[in-house]
Amino acid sequence: MDKFRMIFQFLQSNQESFMNGICGIMALASAQMYSAFDFNCPCLPHYNLAYGLGILLVPPFILFLLGFVLNNNVSMLAEEWRRPQGQRGKDPAVLRYMFCSMAQRAMIAPAVWVSVTLLDGKCITCAFCTSVPVETLGNTSHPGLSQGEMKRVLARIPCKEIYNGQELIANEVAVRYLRCISQALGWCFVLLMTTLAFLVRSLRPCFTQAAFLKSRYWSHYIDIERKLFDETCAEHARSFAKVCIQQFFEGMSTDLASAHCHPPRKAPADVGEAAEKLLGITDQGTMNTALKSWHRCKPPLHLHPPALPSGNGWAGEEQPPTHPPVPRREMAAYYSRV
Amino acid sequence: MDRFRMIFQYFQSNSESVMNGICGLLALASVKMYTCFDFSCPCLPWYNMAYGLGIMFVPPIALFLCGLILNRQSLVMLEEWRRPQGCRKKDLAVIRYMCSSIMQRAMIAPVIWIIVTLLDGKCLICAFSSSVDPEKFVGFANASLVQVQQLLAKVPCKDDELMRNNTSRKAVSKYLRCWSQALGWSILLILIVAAFLACWLRPCFNQATLLQARHWSNYIDIEQKIFEETCCEHSRLFAHKCILHFFESMRQEMKLHSFSLPREGEGAEGEENLLRDITNKDQVNKLLKMWYYEKPPLNVSQATQRHPLGRDHKTSKIK
């Protein structure tokens, strides 16, 4: 008992650290995914922007949704939100607390992806290479090109092998410029996220501590209650199944005994446990019939009260109906006493 | 069993060492981040200074905030600071002690970043290459002002076509690097001497107050942890009772509806006790449906148990 309580406390008080662990793993996975991903800028005027911004924004969205999916408290939140009120009021503060804590954890991996992308610089270089200020960075002596032609040349900046605008603007100069902007954006994003996280965490004790303690308690309670209910149902199902099967075997053995016109063998008192466990089935034919009957027609989900001792070898009903039945034969009334 | 208790006790009594561990990890992470970070100076006149100083100062701010966020004690301190006085007086010395220990730990990773940056030198070279005096360097002394600015701005970029084999570039670069490393080592020396002095001189001032403050700050931390654990245990027991009451009330309701004759013995078989008179498929389905559609009220006092229909007149809401 003590042991279970200790384990439970450990798991419960550490469910948050379990969730933190999962969210740390997802953050690492997102950094690893980025480094494994083979970034391949198309180097064409309008495709660049779409590709660059797509790589910057679509994977974080997917990671955010994945963060919700992997969080096993989401079903708990949904259940609590949708249940009918019944006798127990619903507290929106608890729902808000549960949603906020899940959303905060789910935001970490996308934030890591966006930071790593911006600090690396390839995405922004690809997306905004056509917007480089050629007047300030480029060679002023170059003859003017048409707008479209210039865009096509600039679009090839990320692809060094096919870049043909070295006279217009040096490739390294443009790449350094774009990378500097990208890294500046990246660090500003990191600073913004940490400032937000800091504000969220530090303003809470200043304003809403009592409400927070309440919401936290009741959200833990809902989680524990759900788990305990599942355990209790599992225990009940186990007992139900055991009694159902026991009654099936008893019914089987009584049936077969009466069909062979033998009186039911009362096991002598000193035979021992093994004989009892045989449940009255002691030969191959009987066992085969029992197995076939189990397969062909399983007993109904309806347990009988325990049997009274009886001297006659009459056969009871094999399959009592699921509702409180009207006894068909007077001798069967004994079976139907539900 | 014993092991769990030991681990628990270790974490409870050594929250300071847990905090130290986190702060060490953050310091290592800051060094790793710097080495992974691909420093790329823009080599343009005004951008250099902004980029160089930005890389030197913005990440430390982010690391400092991270150090505050990851430290559990900062929350404890804030709660203690903002709580209503109630029956327990607030001791400002304790709050000050907690604040200073949190700040000290949070400052370690930013300081390491700054020192590593200075010792490496790239940031300072990038930021201040346009600010060196061109007269000191042979290659730049004879050029016009604008040209000098452009050339000096390109010093951090070794691979630039203008700078590829320029010896003056190397001279400027070495000069700035020397300054940067000197600054880095000086800061490191000053900080270590300050830490040393603080450790040695602290016992000379107010040692008793310090011991008290440390004890009570530990106490506040442990008290909060134990409160959370007690709440968890309480909610488990509450849930257990609530579910048992629910099953009991369902059982009574079904007994009423099914017109059953009283059974011979309540404790007939051990297994059947567990079944609680819910012994067929429909009853189980009804129980599960009731659990969803009408969860029992959050009230496990004895009076609610005896109502035959299992419904509670006092509908208690979550307050």
Q: What is the pLDDT of residues A80-99, one digit of tens each?
A: 888 888 788 888 888 998 89
Statement: residue B125 has pLDDT above 80 = yes
pLDDT given at position B153: 86
At residue A21 the predicted structure's pLDDT band, cuts being 50, 70 and 90, is confident
Task: Measure B52 CA to nearest chain A CA, in Å.
Answer: 10
Task: With beta carbons less than 8 A apart as the criterion, state whether B236 and A223 touch.
Answer: no
3-state secondary structure chain A: CHHHHHHHHHHHHCHHHHHHHHHHHHHHHHHHHHHHCCCCCCCCHHHHHHHHHHHHHHHHHHHHHHHHHCCCCHHHHHHHHHCCCCCCCCCHHHHHHHHHHHHHHHCHHHHHHHHHHHHHCHHHHHHHHHHCCHHHHCCCCCCCCCHHHHHHHHHCCCCHHHCCCCCCCCHHHHHHHHHHHHHHHHHHHHHHHHHHHHHHHHHHHHHCHHHHHHHHHHHHHHHHHHHHHHHHHHHHHHHHHHHHHHHHHHHHHHHHHHHCCCCCCCCCCCCCHHHHHCCCCCCHHHHHHHHHHHHHCCCCCECCCCCCCCCCCCCCCCCCCCCCCCCCCHHHHHCCCC
CB < 8 Å from B in window 21-80 of A:
none
Mean pLDDT within B257-282: 60
Q: Looking at A312-316, B29-33, B202-206, B214-218, which range is the least confident one? A: A312-316
Provide the percentage of residues in chain B whose pLDDT is more than 90: 29
Q: Looking at A45-54, A304-313, A320-329, which range is the least confident one? A: A320-329
Q: What is the DSSP letter of B78?
A: H
Which carries the bigger pLDDT value, residue B298 or residue A54? A54
Tell me the pLDDT tens digit for each residue of A134-169: 888 877 666 677 888 888 888 999 998 888 888 888
Q: A322 touching B, CB under 8 A?
A: yes
- Residue of chain A with shortest Cα separation from B313: A87
At residue B260 the predicted structure's pLDDT band, cuts being 50, 70 and 90, is low
Tally of CA atoms within 13 A in the half-sphere of A326 that contains its CB? 0
Task: With beta carbons less than 8 A apart as the criterion, state whether B291 and A226 touch.
Answer: no
Residue B16 CA to its chain's centroid (Å): 14
Q: B90 touching A, CB under 8 A?
A: no
Q: Looking at A60-74, A245-259, B58-72, which range is the least confident one? A: A245-259
Task: With beta carbons less than 8 A apart as the criterion, state whether B251 and B309 touch.
Answer: no
CB < 8 Å from B in window 175-214 of A:
176-177, 179-180, 183-184, 187-188, 190-191, 194-195, 197-198, 201-202, 205-206, 209
Task: Measure A197 CA to nearest chain B CA, in Å.
Answer: 7
Selected for mutation to probe chain A from B61, B274, B307 (highest A CB count within 10 Å) is B274
Instruction: For residue B264, give every residue at least 6 positions away whose Cβ sits within 8 Å of its Cβ, in sequence order, or none.
Output: A305, A306, A308
- Chain A residues with CB under 8 Å of B51 CB are 180, 183-184
Statement: residue B44 has pLDDT above 60 = yes
Q: Do B42 and A180 touch (CB under 8 A)?
A: yes
Task: Measure B319 CA to nearest chain A CA, in Å.
Answer: 8
Separation of alpha carbons A27 and B249, rounded Å: 47
Count how many residues are written for chain B: 319
Statement: residue B254 has pLDDT above 70 = yes
Structure tokens, A208: 């809403």
Provide the percentage of residues in chain A whose pLDDT is more than 90: 23
pLDDT given at position B311: 44
pLDDT given at position B89: 86
Task: With beta carbons less than 8 A apart as the criterion, state whether A276 and A267 touch.
Answer: yes
pLDDT given at position A327: 39
Tell me the pLDDT tens digit for each residue of B2-17: 776 776 566 555 677 8
Return mean pLDDT, chain A. 80
Structure tokens, A222: 């809902």
Separation of alpha carbons A60 and A116, rounded Å: 11
- Residue of chain A with shortest Cα separation from B280: A302
Separation of alpha carbons A91 and B319, rounded Å: 8
Instruction: For residue B137, give every residue at least 6 positions away whose Cβ sits within 8 Å of its Cβ, in sequence order, or none.
Output: B168, B171, B172, B175
Instruction: For residue B170, give every residue at least 6 positions away whose Cβ sits within 8 Å of its Cβ, in sequence order, or none.
Output: none
Instruction: For residue A64, give every residue at least 6 positions away whose Cβ sits within 8 Å of its Cβ, in sequence order, or none.
Output: A106, A107, A109, A110
Mean pLDDT within A216-227: 88
- Chain A residues with CB under 8 Å of B240 CB are 228
Instruction: For residue B122, give every residue at least 6 positions away whose Cβ sits within 8 Å of its Cβ, in sequence order, or none.
Output: B39, B41, B156
Separation of alpha carbons A27 and A23, rounded Å: 6
Q: Do B272 and A306 touch (CB under 8 A)?
A: yes
Residue among B273, B307, B72 nearest A306 (CA)? B273
Mean pLDDT within B266-279: 59
Contacts across the A-B interface (CB distance below 8 Å): 204
Separation of alpha carbons A192 and A215, rounded Å: 28
Beta bridge mates, B119: none
Task: Measure B158 CA to nearest chain A CA, in Å.
Answer: 11
pLDDT given at position A86: 78
- pTM confidence score: 0.78
Which carries the bigger pLDDT value, residue A322 or residue B33? B33
Residue among A52, A176, A172 nearest A123 (CA)? A52
Complex-level ipTM: 0.80
Statement: residue B63 has pLDDT above 70 = yes
Please, what sign has the CA dihedral across residues A95, A101, A107, A109? negative
- Chain A residues with CB under 8 Å of B260 CB are 324, 337-338
Statement: residue A321 has pLDDT above 50 = no
Q: What's the maximum distance between 2 C-alpha atoms anywhere in chain A?
A: 118
Q: A172 touching B, CB under 8 A?
A: yes
pLDDT given at position B107: 94
At residue A220 the predicted structure's pLDDT band, cuts being 50, 70 and 90, is confident
Task: With beta carbons less than 8 A apart as the criterion, state whether B297 and B312 touch.
Answer: yes
Q: What are phi and psi of B280, to 5 degrees?
A: -145, 175
Q: Looking at A70-74, A103-107, B11-15, which range is the least confident one? A: B11-15
Q: Looking at A229-233, B92-96, B118-122, B279-283, which range is the least confident one? A: B279-283
How big is the CA angle at A76 (ends A58 and B286), to the nearest 5 degrees?
135
Statement: residue B231 has pLDDT above 90 = no
CB < 8 Å from A in window 49-78 of B:
50-51, 54-55, 58-59, 61-62, 65-66, 68-69, 74-75, 78
Separation of alpha carbons B28 and A319, rounded Å: 71
Provide the percentage of residues in chain B whose pLDDT is more than 70: 85
Q: Looking at A66-70, A220-224, B203-207, which range is the least confident one? A: B203-207
